[in-house]
């Protein structure tokens, strides 16, 4: 969004600033996306030059400026209180809510904080009206959603679909299906802490409620397609490795829990799993979900829990039969 | 980084407004700006804590003080949750106590907490919590990290093998002593407390040698030199005076 249409985000933020009485906005963007940074900075200077940003916008008394802040490589800074801490110049660690940023946010001021995609939706809503926007999507999830389609799929890249589009349409019509005629196994949505949706739910509509029902999330709009060569235990291990290294370390359940879960999954994929491991995984996932401080810790068990639920036979075959059904785990292949 | 501007008083809470609510089926009254933990303790109800220490800002990070609140699905930490009129708090349900035990077990697996050779054996908050909560064994595998001991300071030493990352040392040094010698480095499981940008404590130019960090440390991670096993008893008598003199209204939301 920031790379292809930054003015839409700037306009949305300015409207939001006008609505809430704010005069200062911040765009927080990861330093790992230099193109987005470059283009959003260019767009900001264009907007200021044209007088739609800055003092006395359109000759009114409304002033609004936007500054760009760069992230320093921490996933957890997507969590709103950690993001605010990062903008303030402190370490990107979340704090307990309440108080929510709307009451107690950036530099202790009431703060409106939203995703780029949310702000980008505002200009067309203002122009065409809320009824038009509500006409797109489902009963409860309105509008469209951008997904980053990736993995074992022919057409990868960013797609925008109305909420409620069946998963099958996304994978086979837009995505063009699975390469080399392989079978689809699962679709993982929502970024590293989203769940894996098995093939049998392919006809479900993609909206907030349906995703939550199968144990996944909309999250960042990531969508990774996996075929029969993906080992679901290894997939869970991969995502947990990411969450372990991105855990900020503030709260005990996430700091130690991600490491313990990662260790167990590594053990299973290295042909050293034991039958009690599954119960311990479930136990640790439940602990993290219920007691972690922020969204990262509460959602990072999702890939493990959904694969345990939908692909339990793969875990069991690793442990009991010393067999990786997908043939992906090297040490189990060699042991044969 | 120090932030002197941080008064951390929640503007939405009115200290002169009184309310009544229920903790474990007991009617209690509270000021609006008193946490559930504070009110529970005033009424003789024990909620286990580790990162909390009266007089320091709150972090809400150890998650041991989580409580159930009727009508709210999530478990909330009592130290940073404020009561509302007619709220019903349950401090020791089976579910909550089970989670507390597991969190404590995870903390035991994280570092090398070997009580038998620890200076704080018998005076350790982590050990006491295990006894209180009935944690007699740990079901998760120990991680056995290889961590350093820094004994470069003339009077104190830090043993990272015994640290639980409560960050009381960081907070007391910053908020009370004003030196900010201590801070935290790394993230996740690799987090570690450091002195002066990870330089040896003994070479620290900011450390005043006041020893407050040692006294507030819940375990044997920070100790006075010359103490043998089980001899390091922490002296916390100074804390109430600090609170009184500073007139701290409320505590930090930000660390």
Domain residues of chain A, as ranges? 6-131, 144-227, 232-335
**Which residue has 């007089």 as its token pair?**
B55
- Strand arrangement, sheet containing B66-69: B26-31, B18-23, B88-90, B66-69, B76-77
* CB-based contact, A276 to chain B, within 8 Å: no
Domain annotation covers residue B8: no
Asked if the Cβ–Cβ distance from A252 to B61 is below 8 Å, we say yes
Kindly list the residues from chain B whose CB atom is less than 8 angstroms away from the CB atom of residue A257: 106
Residues B22 and B121 in one domain: no
Chain A nearest-CA residue for B143: A260
Alpha-carbon gap: A155 to the closest alpha carbon of chain B (Å): 36
Kindly list the residues from chain B whose CB atom is less than 8 angstroms away from the CB atom of residue A85: 254
Q: Please name the fold of domain A232-335.
A: de novo design (two linked rop proteins) (1.20.1440)
- List residues bridging with A150 in a β-sheet: A224
Please give the Cα distance from A211 to A305 (Å, whole number): 14
What is the complex's ipTM, to 2 decimals? 0.89
Residues B44 and B152 in one domain: no
- pTM given for the model: 0.91
* CB-based contact, B186 to chain A, within 8 Å: yes
Asked if the Cβ–Cβ distance from B139 to A280 is below 8 Å, we say yes
* CB-based contact, B63 to chain A, within 8 Å: yes
Instruction: Using pLDDT thresholds of 50, 70 and 90, give the confidence band for residue B6.
Output: very low
The yes-or-no verdict on residue B1 having pLDDT over 60 is no
Domain annotation covers residue B57: yes
Residues B164 and B224 in one domain: yes
Residues B69 and B128 in one domain: no
The yes-or-no verdict on residue B167 having pLDDT over 80 is yes
Which of B80, B82, B107 comes nearest A256 by C-beta? B107
The CATH number of A6-131 is 3.40.50.11540
Residues B59 and B139 in one domain: no
Which of A85, A91, A291 comes nearest B99 by C-beta? A291
- Taking CA atoms, B205 is separated from B119, B173, B192, in Å, by 27, 14, 20
Which of A74, A253, A280 comes nearest B63 by C-beta? A253
* CB-based contact, B238 to chain A, within 8 Å: no
Kindly list the residues from chain A whose CB atom is less than 8 angstroms away from the CB atom of residue B135: none
Asked if the Cβ–Cβ distance from A91 to B143 is below 8 Å, we say no
Residues B192 and B126 in one domain: yes
Chosen for mutation from A246, A255, A264, A288 (greatest number of chain B CBs closer than 10 Å) is A255
Instruction: Using pLDDT thresholds of 50, 70 and 90, give the confidence band for residue A331.
Output: confident
Instruction: Using pLDDT thresholds of 50, 70 and 90, give the confidence band for residue A36.
Output: very high
Asked if the Cβ–Cβ distance from A291 to B140 is below 8 Å, we say no
Instruction: Using pLDDT thresholds of 50, 70 and 90, give the confidence band for residue B10.
Output: low
For the residues B9-14, what does the mean pLDDT come to? 71
Provide the token pair at B44: 């003789």
Q: What is the CATH number of the domain that holds B181?
A: 3.30.70.20
Instruction: Using pLDDT thresholds of 50, 70 and 90, give the confidence band for residue B7.
Output: very low
Residues B86 and B134 in one domain: no
Asked if the Cβ–Cβ distance from B187 to A246 is below 8 Å, we say yes
Residue B125's SS3 state is helix
Domain annotation covers residue B5: no
What value does the mean pLDDT of chain A take?
94
Q: What is the CATH number of the domain that holds B64?
A: 3.10.20.740
Residues B157 and B213 in one domain: yes
- Taking CA atoms, B231 is separated from A60, B111, B223, B227, B228, in Å, by 71, 21, 10, 5, 6
Kindly list the residues from chain B whose CB atom is less than 8 angstroms away from the CB atom of residue A287: 99, 102-103, 106
Residue B133's SS3 state is helix
* CB-based contact, A197 to chain B, within 8 Å: no
Q: Please name the fold of domain A144-227.
A: Ubiquitin-like (UB roll) (3.10.20)
Domain annotation covers residue B152: yes
Residues B147 and B237 in one domain: yes
Instruction: Using pLDDT thresholds of 50, 70 and 90, give the confidence band for residue B188.
Output: very high
Residues B125 and B26 in one domain: no
For the residues B42-53, what does the mean pLDDT come to? 96
Domain annotation covers residue B253: no
For the residues B176-185, what does the mean pLDDT come to? 95
What sign does the CA torsion over B217, B221, B226, B230 have?
Answer: positive
A226 φ, ψ to 5°? -120, 140
* CB-based contact, A121 to chain B, within 8 Å: no
Size of interface A-B (CB pairs under 8 A): 114
* CB-based contact, A261 to chain B, within 8 Å: no
Q: Residues B126-154: pLDDT tens digits?
A: 999 999 999 999 999 999 999 999 999 99
Please give the Cα distance from B117 to B162 (Å, whole number): 11
Residues B195 and B232 in one domain: yes
Q: Which residue has the higher pLDDT, A246 or B252?
A: A246
Burial class (CB in 10 A: 0-12, 13-18, 19+), A280: middle
Residues B131 and B235 in one domain: yes
- Collect all residues with Cβ–Cβ distance below 8 Å to A314 and sequence separation of at least 6: A231, A232, A233, A307, A324, A325, A326
* CB-based contact, A3 to chain B, within 8 Å: no
The yes-or-no verdict on residue A169 having pLDDT over 90 is yes
Contact by Cβ (8 Å): B253, B12: no
Expressed as residue numbers, the domain containing B84 is 18-92
Provide the token pair at B173: 């040094």
The yes-or-no verdict on residue B250 having pLDDT over 60 is no
Q: Is A24 left (phi over 0), alpha (psi -120 to 50) or beta?
A: beta
Kindly list the residues from chain B whose CB atom is less than 8 angstroms away from the CB atom of residue A263: 141, 143
| Contact map slice: B 208-227 vs A, CB within 8 A | none
Q: Percentage of chain A with pLDDT > 90?
A: 92
Domain annotation covers residue B105: no
For chain B, how many structural domains are there in total? 2
């Amino acid at each position: 969004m920031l790379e292809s249409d930054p003015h839409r985000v700037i306009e949305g933020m300015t409207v939001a600033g006008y609505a809430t009485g704010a005069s200062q906005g911040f765009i927080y963007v990861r330093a790992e996306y230099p193109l987005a940074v470059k283009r959003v900075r260019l767009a900001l200077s264009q907007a200021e030059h044209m007088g739609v940003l800055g003092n006395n916008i359109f000759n009114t008394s409304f002033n609004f400026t936007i500054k760009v802040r760069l992230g320093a490589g921490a996933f957890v800074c997507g969590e709103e209180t950690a993001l605010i801490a990062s903008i303030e110049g402190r370490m990107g660690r979340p704090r307990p809510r309440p108080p929510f940023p709307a009451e107690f946010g950036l530099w202790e001021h009431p703060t409106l904080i939203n995703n780029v995609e949310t702000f980008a939706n505002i200009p067309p809503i203002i122009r065409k009206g809320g009824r038009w926007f509500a006409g797109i999507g489902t009963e409860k999830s309105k509008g469209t959603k951008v997904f980053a389609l990736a993995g074992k799929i022919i057409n990868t890249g960013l797609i925008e679909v109305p909420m409620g589009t069946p998963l099958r349409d996304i994978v086979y019509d837009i995505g063009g299906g699975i390469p080399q005629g392989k079978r689809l196994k699962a679709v993982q949505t929502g970024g590293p802490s989203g769940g894996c949706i098995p093939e049998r739910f392919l006809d479900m509509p993609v909206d907030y409620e349906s995703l939550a029902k199968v144990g996944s999330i909309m999250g960042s709009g990531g969508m990774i397609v996996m075929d029969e060569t993906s080992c679901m235990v290894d997939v869970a291990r991969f995502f947990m490795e990411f969450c372990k290294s991105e855990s900020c370390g503030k709260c005990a359940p996430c700091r130690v829990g991600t490491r313990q879960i990662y260790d167990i999954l590594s053990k299973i994929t290295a042909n050293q799993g034991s039958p009690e491991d599954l119960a311990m995984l479930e136990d640790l996932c439940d602990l993290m979900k219920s007691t972690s401080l922020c969204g990262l810790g509460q959602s990072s068990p999702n890939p493990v829990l959904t694969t345990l639920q939908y692909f339990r036979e793969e875990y069991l075959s690793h442990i009991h039969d010393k067999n990786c059904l997908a043939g992906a785990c090297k040490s189990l292949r060699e042991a044969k | 980084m120090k932030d002197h501007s941080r008064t951390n008083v929640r503007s939405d809470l009115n200290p002169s407004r009184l309310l009544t609510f229920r903790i474990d089926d007991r009617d209690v009254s509270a000021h609006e700006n008193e946490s559930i933990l504070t009110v529970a303790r005033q009424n003789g109800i024990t909620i286990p804590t580790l990162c909390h220490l009266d007089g320091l800002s709150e972090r809400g990070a150890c998650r041991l003080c989580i409580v159930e609140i009727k009508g709210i699905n999530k478990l909330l930490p009592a130290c940073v949750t404020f009561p509302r009129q007619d709220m019903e708090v349950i401090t020791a349900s089976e579910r909550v106590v089970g989670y507390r035990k597991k969190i404590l077990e995870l903390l035991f697996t994280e570092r090398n907490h070997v009580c038998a050779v620890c200076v704080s054996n018998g005076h350790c908050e982590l050990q006491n919590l295990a006894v209180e909560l009935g944690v007699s064994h740990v079901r998760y595998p120990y991680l056995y990290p290889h961590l350093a001991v820094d004994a470069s300071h003339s009077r104190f030493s830090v043993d990272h093998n015994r640290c639980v990352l409560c960050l009381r040392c960081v907070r007391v040094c910053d908020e009370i002593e004003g030196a900010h010698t201590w801070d935290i480095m790394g993230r996740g499981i690799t987090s570690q407390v450091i002195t002066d940008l990870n330089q040896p404590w003994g070479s620290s130019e900011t450390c005043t040698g006041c020893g407050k960090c040692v006294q507030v440390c819940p375990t044997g991670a920070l100790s006075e030199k010359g103490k043998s096993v089980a001899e390091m008893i922490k002296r916390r008598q100074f804390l109430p005076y600090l609170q009184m003199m500073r007139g701290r209204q409320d505590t930090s939301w930000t660390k």
